[in-house]
DNA sequence: TCTGGGGTCCTAGGACCC
DNA sequence: TCTGGGGTCCTAGGACCC
């Protein structure tokens, strides 16, 4: 059996943890630039506001209904997610962190009764609420697709819901196809054309037809609805691409401002590349005037460009320069740009040697520098570290066999030890 | 009427997820 | 005036090769 645990209105609940006075009151969280609503708790949903609503359109309603509105704080949410995961790990030997607020827990033994699963689920729910302050729901079923479905239905069952083979078909019959994991709006529409509306008919669909209609993924979904595990645990050690993008609140008409943004978001992307101890071989940028309504199509323009780097690297200046150099190739005057995107591609784990060089003009005390080394080894894994007065560059120079190269030319970039 | 066949690699685009 | 920011997987089709 697989246990699926999911934080309720995760972002909104995170904010409530630090504002106990908001318990039971409506809470909403906004995207970057306070553009749209990305999370709502149950009380906020009841006011009629929906996820994805532009904030400027519903600002008055929010004020009128006394909804507490927050700008998003992803660092906080990630920290809370970490604490929750550490509790999950006490329960299951094997965990898949599917997203920031969702995990699959895989259990070894299968001798548990239905009641045992309810006990485990309820205990888990209580502990997470008591120790972290996050309300969660739990679904238990033989496959990931069914576990997610049971989780969704758990809200009407006190927060914990366990599979029962005698109850599954009536449950599926009451479930719309589109709510099944892996069936989005497009596939739901195609299924409807074939007269398949509820999840029970989807379960009984022929595998041949499922594959023809919804690719191999649809095949897997149908198998999973029949209780046959088909979607493996995903073990991810690195991302395939790293994207850093933003929609601006104002239109940008000139190259320098756009270039500033490209540099900034390229730096963010490289930061994440290093965090996963990887290097990349290519970078691309994309700029767009994309607007959502009432715009003259003649004013729309978007373009992207791609560059292969001379070598595998995680060296910020090289990657940032490459991204910046692409800009003149895609920029056209006369357009007001609304969004940019920087993507790092061809990512592979780094296993080469790196040098860290400190500019001598910064006059760093050797003792301070040594204490930073501890932090570096914690971040980048073990390796032999040598510290010496640099010969070639006349500064402090550190050589070590990095698991990943840590390139920097500024002392303040080095993580500090407290 | 007639057009070789079999393979790989790469890319764009669609669909999905949170 | 103001509409998010990440990701993944699959497939078709073109380029290229022998």
Q: pLDDT, tens digit, for every residue of A150-183?
A: 999 998 999 999 999 999 999 999 999 999 999 9
Please calculate the CA angle A82-A139-A162 and round it to the nearest 5 degrees. Answer: 145
Nucleic strand C contacts from chain A, 272-291, CB < 7 Å: 272, 291
**What integer pLDDT is reported at residue A365 of this predicted model?**
58
φ and ψ at A313, to 5 degrees? -155, 160
Q: Which of A3-7, A28-32, A107-111, A276-280 has the lowest mean pLDDT?
A: A107-111
pLDDT digits (tens, 9 = 90+) for A186-236: 999 999 999 999 999 999 999 999 999 999 899 999 999 999 999 988 888
Torsion sign, CA atoms A177, A180, A181, A184: positive
Q: Which residue has the higher pLDDT, A299 or A406?
A: A299
State the average pLDDT for chain A: 84
**What integer pLDDT is reported at residue A93 of this predicted model?**
87
Strand C contact at CB of residue A208, distance < 7 A: no
Q: Is A399 helix (H, G, I), strand (E, B) or coil?
A: strand
Strand C contact at CB of residue A339, distance < 7 A: yes
Give the nucleotide nearest to A52 (CA→C1').
C3
Bases of chain B below 7 A from a protein C-beta are 14-18
CA distance A128 to A385: 41
CA distance A104 to A337: 41
**What integer pLDDT is reported at residue A121 of this predicted model?**
97
Q: Do residues A393 and A382 lie in contact, with contact meaning Cβ atoms separated by under 8 Å?
A: no
pTM of this structure: 0.82
Strand C contact at CB of residue A234, distance < 7 A: yes
Residue A27 token pair: 């809470």
Residue A231 token pair: 């979607």
Q: Model confidence at A402, in pLDDT bands (50, 70, 90)?
A: very low
Strand C contact at CB of residue A56, distance < 7 A: yes
Between the CA of A24 and the C1' of C14, what is the distance in angstroms?
57
With 60 as the cut, is the pLDDT of residue A325 above it?
yes
With 90 as the cut, is the pLDDT of residue A316 above it?
no
Strand B contact at CB of residue A346, distance < 7 A: no
Beta bridge partners of A30: A37, A71
Between the CA of A248 and the C1' of B15, what is the distance in angstroms?
27
Tokens 């991302």, residue located? A239
pLDDT digits (tens, 9 = 90+) for A335-372: 889 889 999 998 887 754 344 444 444 555 555 655 55
Q: Is A7 helix (H, G, I), strand (E, B) or coil?
A: strand
Beta bridge partners of A357: A397
Helices A316-330 and A255-275 meet at what angle, rounded to 10? 140
Strand B contact at CB of residue A129, distance < 7 A: no
Residue among A113, A118, A123 at smallest CA distance from A161: A118
pLDDT digits (tens, 9 = 90+) for A71-117: 999 989 999 999 999 999 999 989 999 999 999 999 877 789 999 99
Tokens 């079923």, residue located? A141
pLDDT digits (tens, 9 = 90+) for A268-307: 999 998 888 788 888 999 888 876 655 566 678 888 888 8
**CB-based burial, A316-337: b 16+ in 10 Å, e otherwise:** bebbbbbbbebbeebbeeebeb
pLDDT digits (tens, 9 = 90+) for A125-136: 999 999 999 999
Tokens 């609420």, residue located? A129
**What integer pLDDT is reported at residue A234 of this predicted model?**
82
Burial class of A216 by CB neighbour count within 10 A (0 to 12, 13 to 18, 19+): exposed
Strand B contact at CB of residue A100, distance < 7 A: yes
With 60 as the cut, is the pLDDT of residue A265 above it?
yes
Tokens 């366990």, residue located? A162
With 80 as the cut, is the pLDDT of residue A394 above it?
no
Strand C contact at CB of residue A264, distance < 7 A: no
CA distance A315 to A322: 11
Beta bridge partners of A397: A357, A388
Strand B contact at CB of residue A188, distance < 7 A: yes
Q: Do residues A22 and A16 lie in contact, with contact meaning Cβ atoms separated by under 8 Å?
A: yes
Q: Which of A45-49, A107-111, A143-147 has the lowest mean pLDDT?
A: A107-111
Q: Do residues A312 and A404 lie in contact, with contact meaning Cβ atoms separated by under 8 Å?
A: no
Q: Is A33 helix (H, G, I), strand (E, B) or coil?
A: helix
Strand B contact at CB of residue A101, distance < 7 A: yes
β pairing state of A102-106 and A94-99: antiparallel
């Amino acid at each position: 059996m697989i246990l699926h645990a999911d934080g309720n209105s995760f972002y909104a609940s995170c904010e409530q943890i630090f504002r106990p006075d908001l318990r039971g009151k409506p809470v909403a969280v906004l995207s970057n630039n306070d553009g749209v609503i990305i999370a709502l708790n149950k009380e906020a949903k009841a006011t009629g506001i929906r996820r994805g609503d532009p904030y400027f359109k519903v600002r008055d309603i929010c004020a009128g209904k006394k909804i507490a509105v927050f700008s998003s704080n992803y660092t906080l949410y990630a920290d809370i997610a970490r604490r929750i995961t550490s509790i999950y790990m006490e329960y299951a030997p094997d965990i898949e962190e599917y997203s920031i607020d969702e995990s699959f827990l895989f259990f070894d033994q299968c001798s548990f009764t239905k009641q045992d699963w309810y006990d485990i689920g309820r205990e888990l729910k209580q502990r997470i609420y008591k120790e972290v302050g996050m309300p969660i729901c739990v679904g238990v079923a033989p496959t990931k697709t069914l576990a997610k479905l049971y989780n969704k239905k758990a809200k009407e069952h006190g927060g914990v819901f366990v599979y029962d083979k005698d109850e599954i078909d009536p449950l599926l019959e009451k479930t719309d196809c589109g709510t099944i994991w892996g069936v989005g709006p497009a596939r739901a529409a195609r299924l409807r054309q074939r007269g398949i509306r509820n999840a029970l008919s989807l379960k009984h669909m022929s595998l041949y037809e499922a594959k023809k209609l919804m690719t191999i993924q649809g095949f897997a979904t149908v198998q999973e609805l029949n209780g046959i595990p088909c979607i493996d645990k995903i073990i991810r050690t690195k991302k395939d691409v790293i994207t850093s993008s933003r929609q601006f609140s104002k239109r940008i008409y000139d190259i320098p401002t756009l270039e500033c943004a490209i540099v900034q978001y390229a730096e963010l992307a490289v930061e994440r590349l290093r965090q996963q101890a990887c290097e990349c071989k290519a970078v691309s940028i994309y700029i767009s005037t994309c607007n959502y309504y009432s715009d003259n199509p003649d004013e729309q323009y978007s373009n992207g460009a791609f560059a292969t780097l001379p070598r595998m690297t995680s060296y910020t200046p090289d990657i940032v320069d490459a991204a910046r150099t692409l800009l003149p190739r895609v920029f056209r005057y006369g357009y007001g740009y609304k969004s940019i995107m920087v993507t790092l591609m061809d990512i592979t784990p780094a296993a080469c040697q790196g040098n860290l060089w400190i500019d001598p003009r910064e006059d760093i005390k050797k003792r301070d520098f040594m204490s930073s080394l501890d932090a570096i080894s914690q971040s980048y894994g073990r390796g032999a570290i040598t510290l010496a007065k640099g010969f070639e560059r006349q500064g402090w120079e550190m050589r070590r066999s990095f698991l990943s190269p840590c390139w920097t030319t500024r002392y303040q970039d080095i993580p500090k030890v407290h």
